[in-house]
Structure 1
Amino acid sequence: MALVDLSVVEQRYRAVLAVLAGASVSEIAAQVGVSRQTMHSWLRRYRESGLSGLVDRSRRPKSSPSQLSAEVEAVVCELRREHPRWGPVRLVHEAKRLGVDPVPSRMAVYRALVRHGLVSPRQRRKRREGYLRWERPAPMQLWQMDIVGGVFLADGSEAKVVTGVDDHSRYCVIASVVARPTGRAVCLAFAQALQRFGVPEEVLTDNGKQFTDRFGKGGEVLFDRICRDNGIAHRLTQPRSPTTTGKVERFHQTLRRELLDDGVPFEDLAAAQAAVDAWVVEYNTRRPHQAIGMACPAERFTPTTDSGEQLLPLRLPGALKAIDGQVIAHPPSSTPDLDAQTPAGEQPQRHPVNAEQPARAWSGGPVEFDRVVPASGNMFVAGRQFWLGPDRAGMMVTFWADTDVIHLLVAGVRIKSFRSHLSNADLSKLAASGGRAAGPAPLPPTEPGTAVEVDRTISRSGTVSLAGRVVLAAEILNGRRVTVRIEEHTLMFFDPDTRELLRTRPNPISWDRVRHLRDARPAGPPPRPSAEPVTVQRVASNSGVIMVVGQKVALGRIHARAIVTVHVSDTTLTIELPDDTRVVRRTTTQPVRSVKAARPRKAGHVS
């Protein structure tokens, strides 16, 4: 028997006839392999239009409000033809600036470009989950620096560009064309940027020889000296980790695409520098940046020279000379009285030594000297090992040493202290091998009522160790790196980057023990309170009352001994109950001191 292929319409027609003949809709739908709703739809369409009603119908909607109009599509395509490097996000931004209404969506613009053959559709690569994306919360906190090639001159040589961008704003602070990227050329570009914009808190670079001697003989390069003299923390990437300086690397890609890849060589270094300067002005002030919400970098950048935050003058080594025809103006050799500018009880954050002047001659007493942290993070100095960890590899560490104690400082901040093993003869040898006479000891404040800060990592149980005591922070913060602000009666745990307050606890440590805390330093401004409510748990008493931030809330005896969750904000207490949610106005200003509820005693337990 030959098999006969039935068309879709014929199969539907037979199914409809079977139902009209008295068969069950559910039975016929199961035989055909469709739902009951589809079977009823076929019956309705057959009754309305006969056999033609069983033909497939178009699913196209009657109207598409989100579809681009012909006029908007023409504007988008013309912008793309004029600027072939603009993608859908940039085209949407430019269409909005031109007053196009309604503003098209990114995907609508992309589909229009595909229809007109202006882009080639391709599958987007899946982002790697291992990438950690980060950004400093304010400008002038971190600069990323690097060197890029591809600047070809008419004589056939290739010049380089020393580049630097502000991490928060993506503002280009350095774009200096040099014939050879020597250490002095890089430092000259860096020094000019410091004079123009001010001193950043940190600088992030790779491990190039222009920036560090991390893998050399442990000496100090000129770039590290500038950072040390101005209190800049110099941070280095791990080897073969270019994504750590991803923002400046992405800046290089934009520089190549929009300026250097045209293939036309520059006449000389001056012409190349002029072209780069003109492009940087466009990049900083007029070109929208997708990573910062299509804002221009200049809208998010504020140099410290304009904001008045530059408290100390810039100090540059006298060895820095003019290079490649560039001239640098050295600051005056006189140094203001730092003691008059520093509040009592606080240590200045930048070294008061003027690098233009020779180091102070040693005639006895404490000695200061500098060393670079090796890749292992384990330093061997003066016959003793000092562990600083691989995270500080390549950083310049200042040793303050006398016969009683040795302090280690990074960018003017004390990070460790040790009992000294040195004699006067050892100090004399250190002074003769590059040391200098030291100033006062970098100790934290010792007067009761002042505050100090230390950095700690919270354990899995939510505790930290302070002065030999285990102090509870919060279990929810386990494994997190925090800064602890120690006041006379209070401990404040806050995020070291955002200074957002996380928890507050009473201080169980006497002030005599606080004076000897490891890694203690003078406290900065108080942390800012968290804008998010703090979630805590409480056990209701036998009468159905809970105590939160010093405020009693009556829930009723029906909730006696129950564990309830409370969301504590600045103005309200939101209590989650099994049957509803109750909001109570907060009447106290006492901070949250405990998060977890005490477990209720078992029945029959005698205390």
Structure 2
Amino acid sequence: MPWKETTTMEQKIEFICEWRTGKYTITELCKNFEISRPTAYKLINRFEKQGFEGLKEQSRTPKEHPNATKENIVDGILKLKKKHPRWGAKKINKLLFNDFTENEIPSVVTVHNILKRHGLVCPQKRLRRVKPVYPIFDPKVCNEVWSADYKGKFLMGNKVYCHPLTIADSKSRFLFTAKGHYKETLKYAKAEFTKVFRKYGIPKQLHTDNGSPFGSVRAIQRFTQLSYWFIELGIIPVFSDPAHPEQNGRHERMHRDLKAACAKPSAYDLKAQQRRLNHFVKEYNHIRPHEALGMETPASMHNFSSRPFPEKIPNFDYNSNLKILKVTQNGAIRWKSYYWVYLTAALKGKYVGIEDLGNGIWKVFYRDVFLGFFNETQLRNKEKSIRLETNLV
């Protein structure tokens, strides 16, 4: 029976973790995960050679293609390029007709790709796509990345919903808090994060999903008002891909334990429910052995962050080569007196830095975090505004 499609990567990681404990035979693991022995040995071999990266789906493209360009033609292309270093693929393709038949000569695109593969193409200067910052999926030390989420709401005995906010360290699995809220709001979340930051310090990254108040798929870089507060504290907000909760699998696994311990059944009201959540946090951190930690407890593995929580947001000085503009109450910046470039209402009252890239293209930052581009040549109508684009090619 094949891997379940919806949780393939999560099951592979769980299989490797079970195998590394040494408590189970390959036969037992194959039976438990419903896979064949060849599949199991293939995963183990990939993990030993490449680590967890080797568990990802690999390309099935054949290493050799029957229509590949012949070696003698490739050599001819390289010799012509060496003789005429300033000539491009079109001219070299034309010269090939002097030495080869029409059926043997590859297309201009193929000639270009051959030259590029051998490092003989000088790329034209153009704007490159800005790579997003991805979560650190396999942190090496504590406080490198924390995970946070609102565990799915559930009804309490008084027929009111409880929304537990959970924050944990991804390396040690130490659970900082499980705080029950009536609603998933910025005010409640920020208050609990502040409490945790004051006690334990701040991480390098904070990994969340795309739900409110953490992120929004419709916002610039998915940043919300809470995200910009993290940035001001020196924390990089990072997100799972939409509809991919398995990318934060450690946190989701903890949520299953929390649900079983605190929501089946739930308490009568929020005060009683919070006592259950507090008991779960204490047991999870200090008593319950964790297999991924070698049967140690999260509390025995966790260290406090060396980065203290700043009670006052530190000032930020932009580089002198940037234009500094204030985001107005409508979430836009005024450009050349009467044009508007819309950013986000979450930044109103804040200052952003604008970098000139030439040809009318400008790059926008909030503090040291990239937000997007805009093209001032698109500013034709004084009555309309344009929006940032995260990529320009």
The number of residue pairs the alignment matches comes to 245
Q: Structure 1's 280 and 178: CA in aligned 2 closer, same or farther, altered over 3 A? A: same
State the 1:222 CA deviation: 3.0
SS where residue 159 of structure 2 aligns? Answer: coil
- 1:367 is aligned to 324
TM superposition shift of 1:106: 2.8
Letter in 2 for 1:399: V
SS of residue matched to 2:152: strand
Partner of 1:399: 352
Question: Could you give the per-residue CA deviations for residues 164-220 of structure 1, whole angstroms, max 9, x where no partner exists?
Answer: 211111111231101122232222222221122111111111111211233158996
Q: Supply the RMSD in Å over aligned alpha carbons.
A: 4.7
Residues 159 and 179, structure 1, Cα contact 8 Å, conserved in 2: yes
Name 1:352's counterpart in structure 2: 315
Query: Does the residue aligned with 1:106 lie in a helix, a strand or coil?
Result: coil
| Cα deviations by residue, 1:382-426 (Å, 9 ceiling, x for unpaired) | 5899xxxxxxxx99997324899977546x4476999x989xxxx
Q: Which residue of 2 aligns with 1:290?
A: 291
CA deviation after TM superposition for structure 1 residue 159, in Å: 0.8
Q: Distance in 2 between matches of 1:130 and 1:381?
A: 46
C-alpha spacing 1:187/1:282, structure 2 compared with 1 (3 Å):
same
**Alignment partner of 2:311 out of 298, 314, 317:** 314
Query: C-alpha separation between the residues in 2 aligned to 1:238 and 1:219?
Result: 11
* Structure with max Cα Rg: 1
CA distance in 1, matches of 2:151, 2:199: 22
- Quote the residue 2:34 is aligned against: 125
Residue 165 (structure 2) pairs with residue 162 (structure 1): yes
The match for 2:23 among 84, 95, 106 is 106
Work out the CA distance in 2 between the residues paired with 1:250 and 1:370: 40
Could you tell me which runs of 5 or more consecutive residues in structure 1 were left unpaired when the two chains were aligned: 1-88, 94-104, 112-120, 317-350, 354-364, 372-379, 386-393, 423-607
Q: Which of 174, 179, 187 does residue 176 from structure 1 map onto?
A: 179
In structure 1, what is the equivalent of residue 49 of structure 2? none
1:226 equivalent in structure 2: 229
Contact residue 356 and residue 363 of structure 2 kept, 8 A? no
Q: Comparing 187-196 with 272-281, which one deviates more in the overlay?
A: 187-196
2:260 corresponds in structure 1 to: 257
Q: Is the 8 A contact 2:327 2:352 kept in 1?
A: yes
Distance 2:372 2:208 in 1: 28
Structure 2 residue aligned with 1:197: 200
Match in the other structure for 1:336:
none
What secondary structure is seen at the aligned counterpart in 2 of 1:245? helix
8 Å contact from structure 2 (residues 357, 363) kept in 1: no
The runs of 5 or more residues in structure 2 that have no matched partner are 1-16, 44-54, 59-135, 317-321, 378-393
TM-score scaled by structure 1?
A: 0.34
* Counterpart contact for 1:235–1:395, Cα < 8 Å: no
- Kept in 1, the 8 Å contact 2:221–2:371? The answer is no
**Which amino acid counterpart does residue 191 of structure 2 have in structure 1?**
L
Q: Secondary structure of the equivalent of 2:163? A: strand
Return the alpha-carbon distance in structure 2 between the equivalents of residues 233 and 106 of structure 1.
38
| CA-to-aligned-CA distance 1:69-108 (integer Å, 9 cap, x gap) | xxxxxxxxxxxxxxxxxxxx99xx9xxxxxxxxxxx7349
Check the 8 A contact 2:262/2:273 in 1, yes or no: no
Instruction: State the one-letter code of the partner of 1:352.
Output: N
Displacement of 1:246 in angstroms is 1.2
Deviation string, structure 1 residues 542-571 (Cα, Å, up to 9, x no partner): xxxxxxxxxxxxxxxxxxxxxxxxxxxxxx
Q: Identify the residue that residue 210 of structure 2 maps to in structure 1.
A: 207
Match of 1:242 among 218, 240, 245: 245
Q: CA deviation at 1:141?
A: 1.4
Report SS of the residue matched to 2:183. Answer: coil
Shift of 1:287: 1.1
The answer as to whether partners of 1:399 and 1:407 remain within 8 angstroms in 2 is no
Distance 2:188 2:31 in 1: 43
- Contact 2:175/2:285, CA 8 A, preserved across alignment: yes
Distance 1:130 1:153, change over 3 A: same
- Give 1:249 deviation, angstroms: 0.7
> Does the C-alpha gap of structure 1 residues 398 and 303 become closer, same or farther in structure 2, counting only changes over 3 Å?
farther
Structure 1 residues 208 and 404, CA gap change in structure 2 (3 angstroms): closer
Give the equivalent residue in structure 2 for 1:65.
none
- For the residue of structure 2 that corresponds to 1:149, the secondary structure is coil
User: CA-to-partner distance for each residue in 1:496-525, whole Å, 9 max, x for gaps?
Assistant: xxxxxxxxxxxxxxxxxxxxxxxxxxxxxx
Distance 1:417 1:219, change over 3 A: closer
Question: SS state of the match for residue 208, structure 1?
Answer: coil
Residue 259 of structure 1 and its aligned partner are, at CA, apart by 3.2
Structure-2 separation of matches of 1:218 and 1:227: 14
C-alpha displacement of 1:137: 0.9
